[in-house]
A and B are shown apart, each in its own frame.
Chain A
Amino acid sequence: EVQLVESGGGLIQPGGSLRLSCAASGFTVSSNYMSWVRQAPGKGLEWVSVIYSGGSTYYADSVKGRFTISRDNSKNTLYLQMNSLRAEDTAVYYCARGPNSGSYYYWGQGTLVTVSS
C-alpha cells in the first residue's frame, strides 16, 4: 500500500528556516517524480516544487532561491528545506507522488507551516 507521511511543520518566525519530511512506503521515491504542493488557509492549491527521478529539480517562482527539494534514497524520504520564510508561506504543505501525465494520484495528509512573529 502506498503511503506518504509528512512531518516537520510548525510555527516559525519570519526569516526562519524549516525542513519538511515526507516518508514514503509502498514504492521507491527515487524511481518516481515527487512534488510538494501547498495550500494557504482558505485558498486553493499551489504547486511548489518537483524532483524528477533523474534528480532534476524545479520550483515555483514564489519560492525559487529560498526552498530546496531533495530526497534521501536510503530512507525513501522526500524533503523540502525552506529558508527565509515569509508570512505568505503559511500553508498546509502536501507531498505528492507525481506528476504522472500531469496528475497526482497519491498525496500525504499534509503538514501545517505557520510563519508568524
Chain B
Amino acid sequence: QSVLTQPPSVSAAPGQKVTISCSGSSSNIGNNYVSWYQQLPGTAPKLLIYDNNKRPSGIPDRFSGSKSGTSATLGITGLQTGDEADYYCGTWDSSLSAVFGGGTQLTVL
C-alpha cells in the first residue's frame, strides 16, 4: 500500500492527451514539492517533473505538472507510442522519508 495514490492504469490514443493523478496528504504533498518519473520497461526511473511543474533539460513540453492542495497531476499531450511506460509521483514526507505513488501504467492505444 503506497503512501501516495495513483490510478493503476490509464490509456489514450496517439496524439491525444492524458492526465495522471496523485493523491496524498498534508504531511507529504500538502507541504512539499512533487516530482514525476517515467520508467520504461527494464530501465531506471527518469525524472520528468520536479518542484511540481518544472521540467529538467531535455524533457519536452508535452509533459506538464501541477499541484493543488494535497493532490498533483501529470499531463501528457500529443501522446506517442514511445510514451508507454510506468509513471510515478514522489515527494518528501514529514516522517523524514521519501514517498512514492504505486505507479500508473500508460497504454497508448
Chain A residues engaging chain B, CB cutoff 8 angstroms: 35, 37, 44-47, 50, 58, 60, 94, 99-105, 107-110
Please count how many residues in chain B sit with their CB below 8 Å of the partner chain's CB atoms: 26
Inter-chain contact A47/B99, CB cutoff 8 Å: yes
Among A94, A103, A108, A110, contact of B90 (Cβ-Cβ < 8 Å): A103
Which 8 residue pairs are nearest across A and B when measured between Cβ atoms? A47-B98, A103-B50, A103-B35, A102-B92, A107-B44, A44-B103, A45-B100, A44-B102
**Contact residues in B for A102 (Cβ distance below 8 Å):** 32-35, 50, 90-92, 98
CB distance from A48 to the nearest CB of B (A): 9
Residue of B with least CB distance to A46: B100
**Known contacts A47-B97, A99-B98: does B33 contact A94 (CB below 8 Å)?**
no
**CA of A107 to CA of B45, assembled, Å:** 7
Among A44, A50, A103, A104, contact of B2 (Cβ-Cβ < 8 Å): A44
Inter-chain contact A103/B47, CB cutoff 8 Å: yes
**CA of A36 to CA of B32, assembled, Å:** 20
**CA of A110 to CA of B108, assembled, Å:** 27
Inter-chain contact B101/A104, CB cutoff 8 Å: no
At the interface, is chain B mostly helix, strand, loop or mixed?
A: strand
**Known contacts A105-B50, A107-B45, A108-B44: does B102 contact A99 (CB below 8 Å)?**
no
CB distance from B76 to the nearest CB of A (A): 18
Question: What are 11 A-B residue pairs whose CB atoms fall within 8 Å in the complex?
Answer: A37-B45, A37-B98, A94-B45, A102-B34, A102-B35, A102-B90, A102-B91, A103-B35, A104-B45, A105-B47, A107-B45
Inter-chain contact A58/B96, CB cutoff 8 Å: yes
**Contact residues in A for B100 (Cβ distance below 8 Å):** 37, 44-47
**Contact residues in B for A105 (Cβ distance below 8 Å):** 47, 50, 56
Residue of B with least CB distance to A49: B97
**Contact residues in A for B97 (Cβ distance below 8 Å):** 47, 50, 58, 60
Inter-chain contact B88/A101, CB cutoff 8 Å: no
**CA of A101 to CA of B34, assembled, Å:** 8
Inter-chain contact A94/B98, CB cutoff 8 Å: no
**Contact residues in B for A46 (Cβ distance below 8 Å):** 100
